[in-house]
Amino acid sequence: DTEVTQTPKHLVMGMTNKKSLKCEQHMGHRAMYWYKQKAKKPPELMFVYSYEKLSINESVPSRFSPECPNSSLLNLHLHALQPEDSALYLCASSQPRLLRGEQFFGPGTRLTVL
Amino acid sequence: TQLLEQSPQFLSIQEGENLTVYCNSSSVFSSLQWYRQEPGEGPVLLVTVVTGGEVKKLKRLTFQFGDARKDSSLHITAAQPGDTGLYLCAPKTDSWGKLQFGAGTQVVVTP
């Protein structure tokens, strides 16, 4: 199984809502990532979990809260978002600290904040 | 963050033509990945290059890693409409596997 799955595919939320994005992989990877991607731009790294511990937080606002319950799952909890947070949110996984560092991406969640 | 330049930003060609996308930096990279992304989908890994001077072929796609491991190119021969997409180069920038993405090249192949 070389697939990273993400749910939901699309999400529309108001600025006062609380929602969560979910990501799952069964490749035995021990590093998982959240990226944000705006239209016609490359993905921007938000968070990295390595061995279920947060290892990188790219100065992301606290209205985004990541969680890694186990080695296969990664969540992104959303609260009090702004319209400018509307974007494609991508999850990826890899084996950490390997020379090749290949990351495998999920299909993304298209988030719209009203 | 090292300076990473990907060019061109946009390419529109006819089916059957060839194209080349470039990814350049002043930094040396241990490895570099190329991805293709279609609208509304996640990037799909095409290839990883590791060794300076390495050339890899994937059907009509040829990837090169520069001898000094500071640059890479992607060449598509006889492009087809299915090659349309956003091509991203992404060198590995630290021991944890953090990637730095190029700005991307939007390729449009028309029949």
The predicted-structure confidence for A85-96, as pLDDT tens digits, reads as follows 999 999 999 987
Looking at the complex, report in whole angstroms how far the Cα of residue A16 sits from the nearest Cα belonging to chain B: 26
DSSP A52: T
pLDDT for B83: 96
Q: What percent of chain B has pLDDT over 70?
A: 96
Among A73, A58, A64, A68, CA closest to A18: A64
Q: Which residues of A touch B97 (CB under 8 A)?
A: 31, 94-98, 101, 103
Contact A104 B45 (CB under 8 A): yes
- Residue that is written with structure tokens 């990501």 in the block: A23
**How close are the terminal C-alpha atoms of chain A, in Å?**
36
Q: Which residues of B touch A88 (CB under 8 A)?
A: 40
pLDDT for A65: 97
Using one digit for the tens of pLDDT, what is the confidence trace for B27-68?
998 899 999 999 889 999 999 999 999 999 999 999 999 999
Task: Give the span between the Cα atoms of A48 and A26, in whole angstroms.
Answer: 17
Which pLDDT band holds residue A33 (cuts at 50, 70, 90)? very high
Contact B30 A45 (CB under 8 A): no
SS3 B83: helix
